[in-house]
Amino acid sequence: MKRRYFGTDGIRGRVGEPPITPDFVLKLGWAVGKVLAGQGQGKVLIGKDTRISGYMFESALEAGLSAAGVDIHLLGPMPTPAIAYLTRTLHAQAGIVISASHNPYHDNGIKFFSADGTKLPDEIELAIEAELEKEMVCNDSASLGKAVRVVDAPGRYIEFCKSTIASRISLAGCRMVVDCAHGATYHVAPAVFAELGAEVIPLGTEPDGLNINHDVGSTHITALRAAVIAQGADLGVAFDGDGDRVIMVDRRGDEVDGDELIYIIAADRHRAGRLRGGVVGTQMSNLGLEHALAGMDIPFRRARVGDRYVLELMQQEGWLLGGESSGHIICLDRTSTGDGIVSALQVLAAMVESGRELHELREGMEKYPQHMVNVALEPGRDPLGSDTLADAVRQVEAELNGTGRVLLRPSGTEPVIRVMVEGRDGRQVRTLAEQLADAVRAAAEAA
């Protein structure tokens, strides 16, 4: 059955435009409640990031769940991975996150965690969509759900984050800039690092409902770089609006992206004998990560782009570490989903244990130049099956001569084909990517 509303990471869109409207979210809460009520009486957690529309959608979800007879525990502004953690530890039937992650404030979304802190199973999402097609009917007053606020949610999560590294690890003497993107980590991330002994210089910790991800956070690290250099900090850490991604900056202001952070964590665990199996990346993971891991005899596999697919492949392989270049890193031996704070702590622990700085830990991985071109498509055009395009791909691969790779993939969010070429020579990579993009355009016109 094809999903009408659910994407790879819940439901997302612009506020006020279907389906991200108060009336739809009200009925979504009711539909979720009806599905969960059929599995036995329980409770559902609701958390959100800091965008202004969160107030509206929190109330709508609460009303819908209550109408279906399900109790609600309100967490307030909390990182997405915190909601996954609290769903498990508070023994809830599900956790709901109101967030559009790294998107601007005018977008929002709804995503869900199951009782074990992972994405909802397909059958539950399909059951919710089936309920959405029915008429909404409110329970009688005696069987409505109740709502309570969980006042100690931030403290619980802060303690959990600190517990993911050895108790002997101290960040004393580490001066770090912590950029919270004016998002959901604003009141927890600085506390985590400070309580472990670091001197924290906060950035992006003054949310006003409209400034989430605006020129700060993991997708806009210019401000973090400038702050690290101006403050003479040892490093900087940047999260996105809902706290499931992390990007770091070394003392020189150089970016350390998700691929490099995965390499640092994998290398540290490999040295300590704690890396079980290999590492899962995506189609977009840098070839340098694959080669660096191969140099340590660490297996590497690529999943489709999206943390959902990374997690699925990790579970299939029985591996504990995976993630994306964007900084969405999953450490399954620590938590059940991508967690920016937890991932940053694993890197900081590696620094402390090795006595090496961030720029030194990344030196074992050589990043290959990548160039991507987005080729816009007219509706109904699909050039990927073209024999002419296949010939063009083979020609580019022949020019790379085994020192790079080519990736053509349709975007999951807009009508474009993403053309990516990667190799050792940056100039050659750019030329070949543009050449291949022209071939995609020609094939689209002929389709």
* pLDDT grade for 336, boundaries at 50, 70 and 90: very high
pLDDT number for residue 41? 60
Is 101 noted as a catalytic residue in this protein? yes
Q: In terms of DSSP bridges, do strands 175-179 and 235-239 run parallel, antiparallel, or are they unpaired?
A: parallel
CATH fold match for the domains 11-151 and 153-361: yes
Give yes or no for residue 308 having a pLDDT over 90. Answer: no
Q: In terms of DSSP bridges, do strands 94-98 and 321-323 run parallel, antiparallel, or are they unpaired?
A: unpaired
Fold of 11-151: Alpha-D-Glucose-1,6-Bisphosphate; Chain A, domain 3 (3.40.120)
pTM equals 0.93
pLDDT number for residue 243? 97
* pLDDT grade for 433, boundaries at 50, 70 and 90: very high
Structural tokens at position 115: 């009782």
Q: What is the pLDDT of residues 82-141, one digit of tens each?
A: 999 999 999 999 999 999 999 999 999 999 999 999 988 888 999 999 999 999 999 999
Tell whether domain 370-446 is in CATH 3.40.50.150.
Answer: no
CATH class of the 153-361 domain in this structure? alpha beta
CA–CA distance, 80 with 95 (Å, rounded to integer): 10
278 and 301 Cβ atoms separated by less than 8 Å: yes
Using DSSP, state whether 126 is helix, strand or coil.
Answer: helix
Q: What is the pLDDT of residues 61-93, one digit of tens each?
A: 999 999 999 999 999 999 999 999 999 999 999
CA–CA distance, 198 with 95 (Å, rounded to integer): 31
Q: What is the pLDDT of residues 311-323, one digit of tens each?
A: 999 999 999 999 9
Using DSSP, state whether 260 is helix, strand or coil.
Answer: helix
pLDDT number for residue 413? 64
- Which string of DSSP letters, residue by residue, matches 134-169? SPP-PPPGGG---EEE-TTHHHHHHHHHHHTS-TT-
Structural tokens at position 272: 């300590």
Give yes or no for residue 1 having a pLDDT over 60. Answer: no
Q: What is the pLDDT of residues 4-61, one digit of tens each?
A: 888 777 899 999 999 999 999 999 999 999 998 776 667 999 999 999 999 999 999 9
Q: Which of 53, 66, 99, 101 is catalytic?
A: 101
> What mean pLDDT comes out for the span 271-276?
94
pLDDT number for residue 307? 87
335 and 117 Cβ atoms separated by less than 8 Å: yes
281 beta partners: 302
Give yes or no for residue 206 having a pLDDT over 80. Answer: yes
Quote the percentage of the chain above a pLDDT of 70: 98
Strand segments, DSSP code E, in 59-218 are 71-77, 94-98, 107-114, 147-149, 175-179, 199-203
CA–CA distance, 208 with 70 (Å, rounded to integer): 31
pLDDT number for residue 2? 67
335 and 113 Cβ atoms separated by less than 8 Å: no
> What mean pLDDT comes out for the span 209-217?
98
pLDDT number for residue 40? 64
The domain ranges of the chain are 11-151, 153-361, 370-446
